[in-house]
Amino acid sequence: MGDEKGMVHDMGMVHFIGAGPGDPELLTIKGQRLIAGADLVLYAGSLVPPEVVACARPGARVVDSAPLSLDQTHALIMETVRQGGTVARVHTGDPSLYGAIREQMDLLARDGVPCAVVPGVTSAFAAAALAGRSYTVPEVTQTLILTRLAGKTPVPETESLRSLAAHGSAMCVYLSAGDPAGVQGELLAGGLAPATLVVIARRVGWPDQAVVETDLAHLAATARERGFTRQTVFLILPGQGAHDAGQARSLLYDPGFSHMFRT
């Protein structure tokens, strides 16, 4: 018998789990618990290290979904849930950001399979932590934009890098390492200063992770010199270069600033 959403109560559950950027210790406790208890663990091996799913229980089926199509992964899931088993579908970073969960969830809904999502640490935040940088700067920018350069996947014109750069906000640019010159050109065309601080981080959370700081004028050259061609994010950080040493500070710990937790 199904409930009002058409879910079948005697079927197993599917959990979409954000694995974080690569470091197994950045997997959430909840995500680890669900992986450890799952009957089927499906993980994107091209982006999720095997160590992240090493907590799977003995006897669980652990499958790298990288070479599989959407229909093939769905068939594996259905084989498990029809027997009442649980599935951990493990995605890189956070499933809500550039993850293909919508298509998978549509198929599960069609077949009456319940599912839930567990958030994960996205590379924008792991990269900022690795670099020891903050996206927000008092009186400079209080907004962070997560976006990408148009490529095989189109981007609406209103969300082009050039348009977004005009806001002068902090940005993290995903899925664009194949065209660093395009990233640089669009950001400059949008009005960002050539001296704007840029952090380029590759394979954050993996053993061979690397991070380098440069400025916008040298973004493309730096990425090419370091060989950052994939699994790379660009952190665009207005107001944080060496010439901004006198920038305003947060009022949170100012002795003259009071709020409900500090009087």
- Nearest CA among 242, 240, 231 for reference residue 201: 231
Could you tell me the pTM of the whole model?
A: 0.85
Q: Residue 198 is which amino acid? A: V
- Give the distance from CA 132 to its chain's centroid: 18
Structure confidence at residue 257 (pLDDT):
42
144 with 235: CB under 8 angstroms? no
CA angle 115, 22, 29 (to 5 degrees): 50
Residue with tokens 């670099």: 131
168 with 139: CB under 8 angstroms? no
Structure confidence at residue 235 (pLDDT):
98
- Nearest CA among 19, 71, 27, 16 for reference residue 45: 19
What is the tens place of the pLDDT at every residue in 36-67? Answer: 999 999 999 989 999 999 999 999 999 999 99
**E strand intervals along the chain:** 14-18, 40-43, 61-64, 87-91, 115-118, 144-148, 170-174, 197-202, 210-215, 232-237
* CATH architecture entry for 123-237: 2-Layer Sandwich (3.30)
Residues 6+ apart with CB under 8 A from 32: 55
d(CA 57, CA 37): 6
What is the pLDDT confidence band of residue 1, given thresholds at 50, 70 and 90? very low
CATH topology of domain 2-118: Cobalt-precorrin-4 Transmethylase; domain 1 (3.40.1010)
d(CA 170, CA 181): 19
What is the tens place of the pLDDT at every residue in 194-238? Answer: 999 999 999 999 999 999 999 999 999 999 999 999 999 999 999
Longest Cα–Cα distance in the chain = 66
Task: Delimit the domains of the chain by residue range.
Answer: 2-118, 123-237
What is the tens place of the pLDDT at every residue in 71-81? Answer: 999 999 999 99
d(CA 53, CA 45): 10
Q: How far from each other are the two terminal CA atoms of the chain, in whole angstroms?
A: 56
CA angle 217, 151, 128 (to 5 degrees): 50
d(CA 22, CA 173): 18
Task: Give the burial class of 18: count Cβ atoms within 10 A of its Cβ; 0-12 exposed, 13-18 middle, 19 or more buried.
Answer: buried
CA angle 33, 44, 128 (to 5 degrees): 80
